A = this chain, B = another copy of it.
């Protein structure tokens, strides 16, 4: 019944590993079928070698397992908050990729230092607030989602498909599961380049708004002219 969704989410999870962004079982991708009100997500703590399209877990938007014998990723409540808060997204990805996590741990947004960044992320990649003690001891994974959505009060998540959760690591999203993974790969590259830029020149400024506009809009929106049409 959810075969197509499960297949695509399965492939996106494998892509994550193929791109070298995960160690062991650290990382999870989900995709949503908004018509039916369900998501497919990676099971918790299952190694990539044992993943099959069939063991993806189908969960409704209240977090109830609708299909599947395994427990869904422990980060499922965070994914659900993102789908609730960001109505335009179709896939969510979470990793502990090295360089993005360094910035998340350092609690610094990633400045837009160049066009690689501007091609995908329309401004600095934001970092969330630290969760309060109550947020940590309460429903932690739900609150992780909430702190992200709160951070986007003034930011359009469709133009900034990534966030750094303070003390933790990145979440990325996109129109579907595959694109959320693509954005995770790009975020890691951008995080690495920004890291080195900072070490070479500690006072480097962001690029100009004009250059940011040019690159972002070259790839996104109705006047895009990159790629094949």
Task: Point out residues on A near B: beta carbons under 8 Å.
Answer: 23-26, 43-46, 70-71, 74, 96, 98-99, 101-108, 113-116, 130-131, 133, 136-137, 140, 167-169, 182, 185-186, 189, 192-201, 204, 207-208, 210-211, 214, 218, 225-229
Instruction: Beyond the given A103-B200, A105-B194, A137-B214, please list 10 additional residue pairs across the A-B interface where CB-CB is below 8 A.
Output: A23-B186, A46-B227, A70-B228, A74-B218, A98-B193, A107-B204, A130-B208, A136-B210, A137-B210, A198-B200
A211 / chain B contacts, CB cutoff of 8 Å: 131, 136, 167
When C-beta atoms are compared, the residue in chain B nearest to A69 turns out to be B228
Copies in the complex: 4
A197's contact among B26, B45, B106, by CB below 8 Å, is which? B106
A169 / chain B contacts, CB cutoff of 8 Å: 114-116
Write 15 A-B pairs (CB below 8 A) sorted by A numbering. A23-B189, A25-B227, A44-B227, A46-B227, A74-B226, A101-B193, A102-B199, A105-B194, A106-B201, A114-B167, A116-B169, A131-B211, A137-B214, A167-B207, A198-B200
> What's the Cα separation between A199 and B43 when bound, in Å?
35
A199 / chain B contacts, CB cutoff of 8 Å: 102, 195, 199
A167 / chain B contacts, CB cutoff of 8 Å: 113-115, 207-208, 211
A196 / chain B contacts, CB cutoff of 8 Å: 98-99, 102, 106, 195
